[in-house]
Each structure stands twice: as C-alpha cells, then as structure tokens.
C-alpha cells in the first residue's frame, strides 16, 4: 500500500525535538524506505545537533551509497539492512563495513529460506555482519513457517548455526519458538508500551503491522495517546501470525540451570570535540594549523593508509596502526575536523564525533606547544572568551582609544546573522568578548579583523552547562 508522507524536515524536527524534551530516548527511521524522504540527511543533522535522541535507520540499502554513508557517519547509532533477494545486499554490507558503520541484518525466515539459512548466516559473518535478526512473516500465512518449520529453525539454531554471530529472534515469533532459551520470561512484543510507530500521514499506531491508528497534532498528543490509549495500542495487530492474536499458546518448558548472557549497546548523539593549544609564536601556531588542515584532508582521502599515524611518527611518537580509525575520527563526515589559527594558539575542532585520539595532545607537546583545553564529547554549546589588546608596550596601550576598535568588531565579524556575543572594555587597556558557539569560519574572520586592527588575541573555550545561557549574566 502506498502512503504519501505529509512530513517536512521542519515539521518532523518540531515533533521529534518535543518528544526528546518529553523523555523519549531514541528514534528509528524505517520503511517504506527512509532514504527517499527529501531532506533526510538534513533532518538527521539537525536531530544530532539539536536533540539528545539516539538515531537509528532501517533500510533496504539501495540508496545507501558511499556519499550517503559519509553524510551519516557517526550520526546513526545502528544501520539495519533488510535483506531481500532482489536487492544488492552484499554490496551494501561491503560499503557499511568499509565506512566503519555499525550494522546488522534483518532477515525474514520463510519456508524457502530455511534450507539455505546456515550457509547464508556463514556468508553474513564473512561479510562483517555483527548480528542477524530473524523475523517471521506476518499477514501472509503461505509464507510463514508451519509448526514443523519452527521446530526445524529451532533445531538449526540449537545445532550452532550462526554461532559466530549474535542471533536475535524478533518478538513477533511469540511462543512459536518457546523451546529456545530466553532471557526474559515474557513473550509480549511490547508494541504500544515500550515503543510506538509514527506514520507518514501523522498518525500513531502500536507497530507497522497494526491496521488501526490514531491521529495526532503534536508531541504532547503522542505522549497523551501513549498513556491513555493503552487498549488500542496493546491490542492484536489484526493480521495472521500476530502473537497477541489470542491463539492458544504453548507453555514454555521449565528452564534448565544455565548462564544467560545479555549483550546490548547504548547509542546516543555524539558531541563536539575541542583541543586548544598554545605555541611559542604566532608563526609556529600558523605552521601547526597548516599541518592539521592538511591532516584533515589527507584523512578524508586516506583509503587504507593512515596519515595521522604518519604525522605522529614524524614527531617521534609511536601509535597503533588503527589510531584515528573508527570512532576515533569523523572521517568522511559532512563537517570534518578543522584547525583555526588564533594568534599563538591553535583550535582543533570537530563539530560532531564520538571522540578524537588523545595522542594529538601529545603531538602538541612534541611540536613545542602545550594543551590548554580539551573538551571531549561536548553536547552543549561552546562559550568562547577572547581577550584582545593592542600590540604595543604596556605604557603605550593606555592611550589607545578602544571604542573605535569595538565598533569595528561589531560592524565587521560580529555583525553576521546568528552571532550571539557581548563586547566590553576590560581593566587592563584591552577588550573582552564573550561569544556563544562560534564556528571555525566565524573565528577565522574575527582573527583576521583583529589582526588588521593591530590587536593581539587570547582564546579560552568552555562547554556551557546547558543549551541556553544569558551572556549578560556572565559578565
């Protein structure tokens, strides 16, 4: 069935941001195919920047190109690939592995799929798949496993099929595979209680199999429906195979003494990374900035090489072969790390990453500098405090009129749209600037103007305690 989407980036962001505020922890985009939504990448970028929601994606992989993966790198907790015979899932898995993206496979188990399941699981393992979620067919009895097929699947898994993988069983199996070991006694799927689905036509339902849905206007409505419409949301889906259908259930056997291992991972929005260092001279800081700028470009195009390891080795620092790989570097992102030259300082900044290698700070020291600030995984905006003074001996600074300099800053780099800053004279013949979340490009423009005005500059950076701040109150 085709259902046209009524969502835009703005309307989806509004609802999801409010759901974040109301306590929702994650959003998983599923199908249809999420990647056909116009503005999907922009929506993910803004969710990452403006909410605390963990973001996940289920896709058939047809549109998951190298370019798409570079845009999504580090912003998606997990990608799940729906495996069908008519999509190039092998190519999709190869791209995911190449980009270091955590992924798993969703696999529908049908009577035709069952005989080759063991070999398929082995192939998925060899392709770098981390886990496989085995799902039943709902709503199409002819494609579902009969009791004999369920017993054959259980025997296959008990015999070690996929032993080198994490094998997960979809909650929609209900009691059909009750004779397999379970972590939790309950077999209820949790739909409508632990999660709900928001549809493309702005309705809420328990899961994608439910025919019944409820309209809503905003996030408050979604939470109110979740709390008040429990009978509707916890009812059977109304399709063949739903474990809530009320069909007689086989009782689970008494559990044997055994050890059960629960494996899970937590995913959240990653944050920004800041490293601020000082060097002997402005010229030396400019050299370090150029080296880091070249490093960022080289890491983007590195392929199998490791330019970071080469840079460290040139400074006499031994590092493991995988330094700067996987979560340690936002390679291929839309916004790679940037280096900003600020007088005798260098600001090394990644707007969105899990972390960055701590050894870069060691490299600062090896290059005759020192680390002044490190902010690893910052979720809130940065606050920049800049101290400016005329490049003159102390006694000569006293006669320098500061108001024309302040006016030049307000009319120049601080006049751009969206800049939130405060400027005032300080007690030592200089100027103080408080600046909320400056971008690297904005900071470069500010430093250029300051230099043209004959001003020296010293930068300090800190993370705000929350998403909002009263700059006037900080004075």
Positions of the chain with pLDDT under 70 = 1-4, 178-179, 181-187, 246-270, 331-334
At residue 401, the pLDDT reads 94
Q: Considering the domain 381-475, what is its CATH architecture?
A: 2-Layer Sandwich (3.30)
At residue 121, the pLDDT reads 94
The residues, ordered by sequence, that sit 6+ positions from 391 with a Cβ below 8 Å of its Cβ are 454, 455, 456
What stretches of 301-367 show up as alpha helix (H) in DSSP? 307-314, 359-366
Transcribe 422-435 into DSSP letters: EEEE-TTSEEEEEE
Identify which of 186, 187, 168 has the alpha carbon closest to the alpha carbon of residue 121.
168
At residue 57, the pLDDT reads 94
CB 323, CB 306: distance < 8 Å: yes
At residue 248, the pLDDT reads 46
At residue 177, the pLDDT reads 74
d(CA 321, CA 306): 8
- Residue 202 Rama label (left phi>0; alpha psi -120 to 50; beta): left
CB 339, CB 346: distance < 8 Å: yes
Q: Indicate where the chain has its CATH 3.30.70.600 domain(s).
A: 381-475
- 3-state DSSP assignment of residue 172: helix
Alpha-carbon distances, residue 408 vs 405, 412, 446, 454 (angstroms): 5, 6, 11, 12
Domain 9-233 in CATH 3.10.450.50? The answer is no
* Residue 229 CA neighbour count, 13 Å, CB half: 19
Q: Which strands, in side-by-side order, build the sheet including 26-29?
A: 26-29, 54-59, 79-82, 103-108, 131-135, 166-169
Q: Indicate where the chain has its CATH 3.20.20.70 domain(s).
A: 9-233
């Amino acid at each position: 069935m085709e259902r046209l989407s009524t969502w835009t980036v703005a309307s989806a962001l509004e609802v999801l941001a409010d759901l974040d505020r109301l306590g929702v922890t994650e959003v998983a985009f599923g199908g249809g195919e999420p990647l056909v939504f116009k503005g999907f990448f922009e929506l993910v970028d803004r969710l990452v920047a403006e909410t605390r929601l963990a973001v996940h994606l289920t896709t058939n992989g047809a549109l998951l190109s190298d370019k798409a993966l570079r845009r999504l790198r580090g912003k998606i907790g997990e990608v799940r690939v729906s495996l069908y015979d008519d999509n190039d899932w092998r190519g999709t898995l190869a791209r995911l592995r190449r980009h270091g993206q955590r992924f798993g496979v969703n696999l529908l188990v049908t009577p035709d799929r069952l005989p080759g399941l063991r070999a398929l699981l082995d192939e998925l393992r060899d392709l770098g798949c981390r886990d496989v979620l085995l799902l039943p067919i709902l709503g199409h009895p002819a494609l579902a496993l009969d009791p004999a097929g369920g017993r054959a699947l259980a025997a296959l898994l008990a015999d070690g099929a996929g032993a080198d993988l994490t094998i997960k069983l979809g909650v929609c199996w209900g009691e059909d595979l009750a004779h397999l070991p379970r972590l939790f006694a309950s077999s209820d799927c949790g739909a409508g209680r632990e999660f709900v689905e928001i549809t493309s036509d702005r309705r809420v339902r328990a899961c994608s199999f439910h025919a019944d849905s409820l309209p809503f206007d905003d996030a408050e409505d979604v939470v109110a429906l979740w709390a008040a419409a429990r009978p509707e949301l916890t009812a059977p889906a109304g399709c063949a195979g739903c474990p809530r259908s009320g069909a007689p259930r086989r009782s689970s056997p008494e559990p044997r003494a055994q050890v059960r291992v629960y494996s899970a991972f937590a995913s959240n929005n990653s944050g920004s990374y800041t490293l601020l260092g000082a060097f002997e001279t402005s010229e030396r800081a400019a050299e370090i900035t150029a080296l880091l700028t070249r490093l960022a470009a080289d890491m983007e195009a590195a392929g199998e090489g490791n330019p970071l390891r080469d840079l460290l080795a040139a400074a006499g620092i031994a590092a493991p072969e995988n330094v700067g790989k996987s979560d340690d570097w936002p390679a291929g992102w839309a916004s790679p790390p940037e280096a900003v030259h600020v007088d005798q300082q260098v600001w090394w900044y990644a707007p969105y990453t899990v972390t960055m290698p701590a050894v870069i700070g060691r490299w600062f020291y090896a290059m005759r500098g020192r680390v002044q600030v490190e902010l690893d995984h910052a979720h809130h905006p940065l606050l920049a405090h800049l101290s400016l003074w005329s490049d003159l001996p102390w006694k000569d600074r006293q006669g320098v009129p500061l108001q024309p300099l302040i006016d030049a800053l307000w009319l120049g780099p601080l006049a751009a749209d969206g800049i939130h800053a405060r400027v005032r004279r300080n007690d030592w013949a200089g100027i103080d600037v408080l600046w909320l979340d400056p971008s690297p490009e904005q900071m470069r423009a500010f430093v250029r103007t300051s230099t043209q005005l004959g001003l020296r500059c010293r930068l300090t950076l800190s993370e705000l305690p929350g998403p909002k701040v009263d700059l006037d109150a900080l004075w």
